[in-house]
Amino acid sequence: GTGSSILSALQDLFWLSKSKVEKQLQVISVLQWVLTFLIMGIACTLILMYILCTDCWAIAALYLAWLVFDWNTPKKGGRRSQWVRNWAIWRYFRDYFPIRLVKTHNLLTTRNYIFGYHPHGIMGLGAFCNFSTEATGVSQKFPGIRPYLATLAGNFRMPILRDYLMSGGICPVNRDSIDYILSKNGSGNAIIIVVGGAAESLNCTPGKNSVTLKNRKGFVKLALRHGADLVPVYSFGENEVYKQVIFEEGSWGRWVQKKFQKHIGFAPCIFHGRGLFSSNTWGLLPYPKPITTVVGEPITIPKIDNPSQREVDFYHSIYVDSLIKLFDKYKSKFGLPETEVLEVN
């Protein structure tokens, strides 16, 4: 009857509204992360300096005193918070793309691991969501394993940002931090290193699957020194979420990028995604493209205190072969043609 029709219409309207609210929450969750990535460190530094010049200077002074006292915490495993890692906002972040974590093998809690994450993309969105939050269930899929996503050490010199990053289990990508986690923090640790780094980010563009790996062997040497197993990880779709202006080798643009990379540690990229209110305009929001992160089979690594270059090269070649095999095995399942080849630079 008429009553049933009205009720049905109201139910349709309710679900439509709920869907729209969820979409907006997804956009907000991603926007806050993008702004965190781009400006939070600088903004917090400027705010702290401003407060020092006001009547509330004591608050800033107390924080700076705490900062000095707490300076070495990032190098000692940080200060992760399960509460922060389980925030609902990360689930909306996950669903925006969506992002998915695929487990292919079990990991022993009696071993330590170095995950090589590929490719970098513009912001490493898949690496963050999968390993610095619980949105994709990393702790359930790898029980007993503590993931530590390694990022630029300079981020941990920024007030407030350093604490925010540590709460997610993020650590500096330097030898002191990695040595501590792999040698003084027990077993069951997994350090995720985005091996290609800033150099790889300069070449990421939709439709391109390439990694900067041929001359990246430091992570293999670290694995040998600590006897930590190597795990190849490939994130299908990481390069699809932003469009970037690629400067040719020898151009002024690439020269500027390489100078920044050499002296500061990151390379400025000219990129864009979609707009905040419309997918048809340019903006800072990434395009909502699926990102699927596949964690491959661990490679057993012996403990060698002072590995020779020959030993490093040997295990590096095994790692490269394993990454290519992982890519080839899953590429067609996640939307790539069988003819697609992973370019290793």
Model confidence pLDDT, tens digit, residues 128-147: 999 999 999 999 999 999 99
Give the pLDDT score at 11. 54
Give the pLDDT score at 98. 97
Give the pLDDT score at 109. 96
Number of domains within the chain: 1
Asked if 295 contacts 231 with a C-beta cutoff of 8 angstroms, the reply is yes
Asked if 302 contacts 315 with a C-beta cutoff of 8 angstroms, the reply is no
Give the pLDDT score at 5. 58
Give the pLDDT score at 203. 83
> How deeply is 334 buried, as exposed, middle or buried, from its count of CB atoms within 10 A (0-12, 13-18, 19+)?
middle
**Segments in the chain below pLDDT 50:** 10
Give the pLDDT score at 12. 54
Range of the domain at 48: 1-342
Asked if 27 contacts 276 with a C-beta cutoff of 8 angstroms, the reply is yes
Q: Residue 214 and residue 324: Cα distance in Å, rounded?
A: 12
Give the pLDDT score at 58. 95
Beta strand 170-172 with 146-151 is parallel
Q: Residue 80 and residue 139: Cα distance in Å, rounded?
A: 14
Give the pLDDT score at 8. 56
Give the pLDDT score at 100. 98
Give the pLDDT score at 143. 97
Give the pLDDT score at 15. 56
Give the pLDDT score at 51. 95
Q: Residue 275 and residue 72: Cα distance in Å, rounded?
A: 39
